Amino acid sequence: MVEPLLNVAGLQAWYGESHILHGVDFEVRPGEVVTLLGRNGAGKTTMLKAIMGIVAKRKGSAEYLGRETVGLSSDRIARLGVALCPEERGIFHSLNVRENLMLPPRIAATGGLTLDEIFALFPNLRERLSSGGGKLSGGEQQMLAIARILRTGARFLMLDEPTEGLAPVIIQQIGRTVNELKKAGFTILLVEQNFRWASTLADRFYVMEHGKIIDAFAAADLAANMDKLHDYLGV
C-alpha cells in the first residue's frame, strides 16, 4: 500500500463561533486526482482552506508527507509544496498577466514549471501577457490562477470549483490540463460541482455532508454508486 501524501484525521474547523468541519477523515495518495463531492454548504471549500491553514481555528490532524500541518501558518504549509487555487481566483486586476504569474515566490529549489511549460498548457496566456488581470475573461483568469501556482514549484494542488461559470470549451481545456498534470506526477484534490466533468478525471471520490465525510468510492465503482450519488447530490 502506498503511503498517503495527505492524511487527514479528525479535522475540525470553525469560522468564528460557527463549527463547520466535524471530524473529517480522508487521505490522498501521491499522483492521484481525488474529488470532494457534496451539496453547497457541505464544507468542501472549508476543508481546502483548513488544509491550507487559512481558517481561524482548526483541531485534529492534517499530515502532509508525514508532517503535521495543523498549527503551521499558511505560508509554512505553502513552502512544503501545497497550493490552493481558490474559487474566487485571486487575480490582481491592477497587474498584467506576466506580473501575476511572476508574483508568488518559488517554494522549491528546483522551481516550478517554466513559462514555456505553462504556455504549453495554456496557450491563451502567452497572447495575453501584457493584458491587465481585470481585462481577462473568466476562463483566462482561471487559467492564470492555476498557472500561477504551477510556477511556484508546488506539487500538491487543491483546486476549488475550477469550472464554475466557464464556457464548455474552457472546461475541456481545464480537464486536459488536469490530466497532463497528473501524467507529470502532480497530486490534485478537487472540489467541483460539475460532477459529470469531475467523474472523467478523478481516481477516487469522497462525499461530504454537514462537515463530515459520509461516503467514499473509487472511479471503478462509479457506476455501482450512481443511485446513491443521485440521493447525495441530485445529479
Q: If you write DSSP's letter for every residue of 93-115 in order, what string do you get?
A: TTSBHHHHHHSSPP-STT-S--H
CATH superfamily of 6-233: P-loop containing nucleotide triphosphate hydrolases (3.40.50.300)
d(CA 200, CA 157) in angstroms, rounded, equals: 18
Average of per-residue pLDDT across 183-207? 94
d(CA 1, CA 50) in angstroms, rounded, equals: 26
What's this model's pTM, rounded to 2 decimal places?
0.94
C-alpha cell at 61: 490532524
CB atoms within 10 A of CB 44: 24
CA distances to 85, 89, 149, 197, 209 from 188, rounded to whole Å, are: 11, 17, 12, 15, 21
Q: Hey, what amino acid is at 60?
A: G
Helix (DSSP H) and strand (DSSP E) numbers for the chain: 9, 10
Residues 6+ apart with CB under 8 A from 229: 37, 195, 207, 235
Q: What is the pLDDT of residues 103-137, one digit of tens each?
A: 988 886 567 899 999 999 999 999 999 999 999 99
CA distances to 4, 85, 154 from 176, rounded to whole Å, are: 25, 17, 19
Q: What is the pLDDT of residues 134-167, one digit of tens each?
A: 999 999 999 999 999 999 999 999 999 999 999 9
Residue 110 has what pLDDT? 62
| Torsion-angle region of 178 (φ positive above 0: left; ψ -120 to 50: alpha; else: beta) | alpha
Contact at 8 Å (CB) between 133 and 144? yes
Q: Which helix (H) or strand (E) element contains residue 127?
A: helix 123-127
d(CA 121, CA 124) in angstroms, rounded, equals: 9
Contact at 8 Å (CB) between 202 and 37? no
**Which of 104, 115, 57 lies closest to 79, judged by CA?**
104
**Which of 134, 192, 140, 205 lies closest to 163, judged by CA?**
192
Average of per-residue pLDDT across 192-211? 93
Q: What is the pLDDT of residues 22-80, one digit of tens each?
A: 999 999 999 999 999 999 999 999 999 999 999 989 999 999 999 999 999 999 999 99
**Quick check: 1 pLDDT over 80?**
no
